Amino acid sequence: MDFLTLFGIYVVVVLTCIALVCKYSGQQHTPLSRVYNKLSEVVSPWIPQCFQNICYRSMHRLFHQRNRFFIYLHIVLETVVYGEFSYEIFGFCLEMDTTLFNACLPYVFLAIKSYIFYLCCSKDPGTLTKENHAVQLKVYQYDEKLYQKGINCQTCQFLKPARSKHCSVCDRCVQRFDHHCIWVNNCIGAQNTRFFMLYLLSVCAMACDIALLTVDMLFHTVVRSGIMHANYIDAEGLRQPVGPLFVVQHLFITFPRIVFMLGFVVFVFFLVAGYTMFHCYLALVNQTSNEWFKRKGHGCQYCSPVSGRQCHTSHNPLRGFYHRGVLKNIGEIIWPSCPTQKKDN
């Protein structure tokens, strides 16, 4: 398999992942999602309607119904990455100047991340029940903009506390609802936001460490081979010095699995790192992603042409109604209000 074929497969896989993330993450106004929609309009007339229906039902089942597919996919991807790292990179790291602790650090991150991942999957996000409903009504004040008094959840038949939302995937109302995460098959709410933040940080640390060790391994391989001082004969029969592009092509052909793994973990790192920074920002200003997107004009659940209610976003979206100072905002995530205790505003 030549370089162009490998590179073409790699590009297709990466672009497919980006397209799926943009299409089904709920963010319909990003540049990539608009490109995806345009391409869909062009391609869809050439695809049989029955096949489109099957694809739509499959995607709906995966992204909009509670299932464990992405948990299993998460485990499979993790197994593949660590299998490749253990098989081809770990031993090479021990032969270099890498200490045993640094070589084993990815496994430490894996153990920490796996435990936090379990907590994200299993911990209750803050489900509203008959037992805690009266208490949760007093946790947050209504801002009378995104959250207004007197609004009932049509499914749960509860008076909705401020900052709560009914999750259509889990079919339950969640206090301080942030979003439904398909990767942990659970909602992110008041009681498990801290675990979700730690999960994002641990994934970033794990991906970054593996990427650095892999780059170090490839760098030492290039140095030991002496390829940077070599020459090659071009198509015109002239001798040319080896450049960076030739080295990358050489590594792509010689270590295809390692390069694919490196590209994947780098992609994961930048994707998750950006998402982590976004959630860190939300934590500092005491907003949820649900509130942030509503304030940015993605619609409000209380605006209704029938009732005539209109929400106003006079509050600065960079500092929400519930902003109480950085330290108190962080403390609210680390030590969320217990559903059996009252909390004064």
**Active-site residue 181, yes or no?**
yes
Q: Which spans in 25-99 are helix H?
A: 31-43, 49-64, 69-84, 90-95
Tell me, rounded to whole angstroms, the distance of Cα 344 from its chain centroid.
Answer: 33
Q: Evaluate the CA torsion angle 238, 241, 245, 249 in order and state its sign.
A: positive
Q: Which of 173, 181, 204, 311 is catalytic?
A: 181
Please tell me whether residue 319 adopts helix, strand or coil conformation.
coil
Tokens of 157: 């038949």
Half-sphere exposure of 301 (CA within 13 A, CB side): 18
Tokens of 248: 């990358």
- Which one-letter DSSP state was computed for residue 325? -
Nearest by Cα to 187 from 201, 202, 172 = 172
Rounded Cα gap, residues 333 and 280, in angstroms: 11
Residues annotated as catalytic (active site), given as ranges: 181
